[in-house]
Amino acid sequence: MNKKGFTMLELLWVIVIIGFLTAMIAPRLGGVSERAEESINEANLKDTKKYVETFQDENAGDFPNHLINLVLADDDGIAAAVGDCIMATVEDRTNQVMESISYDFSDRLLLSEHVLSANEAAELLAMGVSVVLSWNHPDDPNYVSATHWNRYDWVDVAAGVMVVMIGGGAADSAVDITAHGDFDALGEEIGNPDWLYRIVAGIGPDCELVTEDYVEAAPLCPAGLNNRHYFYNYYSIVLPRLAATVNGRFGALPFDDDDGDGYLDFDVIDASDTTDGQIKRIQLKPMTGTQFDICNATGHGRQEDVKWWQLYDNGDGL
């Protein structure tokens, strides 16, 4: 029986058609993957907040203890000096250097070192946050202490302990907060202005949310699972703005009490449309224990309708 095979020309046509179809489908598949990642992240942000709220309902309003403190530990388990917070100083997407945290996380939140006062420490203790776990990863290039080989150092919350604050901080427990250098003049941008001057700390595997079985494992951010740029990939709690911060440490900020209510305030405008974009007023008031937020490893929270906000002069100055 005579069997006829494919000619070289037919095979070439098949290869061309397959290549054409691949070129058409691949971008769509990439879009599907990206949308799936965004959906998972949005669900994680929502669920993590719900789990923390459940924990609070069952623990007299307390936050889960043993949050990750994004500060390098010294021999005493406390950051040795200003500069020991693990900030990503450059945007490196070449896979040549692994940052402790993502550049986007540091840049979007304008993270600063902040040394707790006695009153701030007391307020955190009253919220159930009595121990933080200072970052101490020996594989991390930002790791500086040769005397530690465990991933975290357990630190008792007290005056003098350094934490990470959004938008500004203080180098000493007895001095005023200074605004972050990228958020101290008109035209500067910030990702979420409602989060300014609030402490942020991570939900890791040793957090009570995990160890007390509210969740099976510390949730990881989908965007960071395959990255080669940064180590820290957990979701974090943006804690409520402390009364002790508002009432005792705001002397050096470049904002005014425009409406006379006793609290500093300022206006921000949608940075994508500085002519007709929405404007909103941020009041730097203390918050209750229910006023917390969750952010991912790139500094994003839920339902953000504006990518970047910008300081806006409403005519009354800042």
Q: List the one residue out of 165, 292, 304 whose CA is nearest residue 238.
A: 292
Q: Which one is predicted more confidently, 280 or 53?
A: 53
Q: List the one residue out of 75, 78, 247 whose CA is nearest residue 163.
A: 78
Phi, psi of 209 (to 5 degrees): -60, -30
pLDDT-based confidence at residue 34 (cuts at 50, 70, 90): low
pLDDT-based confidence at residue 189 (cuts at 50, 70, 90): confident
pLDDT for position 113: 86
Q: List the one residue out of 64, 65, 66, 63 whose CA is nearest residue 153.
A: 66
Task: Please check the confidence at residue 281 and state whether its pLDDT lies above 50.
Answer: yes
Name residues whose C-beta falls within 8 Å of residue 148's C-beta, 6 or more positions apart in sequence. Answer: 73, 136, 138
pLDDT-based confidence at residue 90 (cuts at 50, 70, 90): low
pLDDT > 70: percent of the chain: 76
| 37-43 contact pairs (CB < 8 A, 24+) | 37/222, 37/223, 40/222, 41/221, 41/222, 41/223, 41/296, 41/300, 42/302
Task: Please check the confidence at residue 259 and state whether its pLDDT lies above 90.
Answer: no
pLDDT for position 84: 45
pLDDT-based confidence at residue 311 (cuts at 50, 70, 90): confident
Instruction: Please tell me the least confidently modeled range out of 22-26, 113-117, 172-176, 287-291.
Output: 22-26
Task: Please check the confidence at residue 152 and state whether its pLDDT lies above 90.
Answer: no
pLDDT for position 238: 97
Task: Please check the confidence at residue 269 and state whether its pLDDT lies above 70.
Answer: yes
pLDDT for position 25: 61
Task: Please check the confidence at residue 179 and state whether its pLDDT lies above 80.
Answer: yes
pLDDT-based confidence at residue 304 (cuts at 50, 70, 90): confident
pLDDT-based confidence at residue 30 (cuts at 50, 70, 90): low
d(CA 25, CA 2): 38
Task: Please check the confidence at residue 29 and state whether its pLDDT lies above 60.
Answer: no
Q: Which one is predicted more confidently, 122 or 69?
A: 122
Instruction: Please tell me the least confidently modeled range out of 42-46, 127-131, 207-211, 309-313.
Output: 309-313
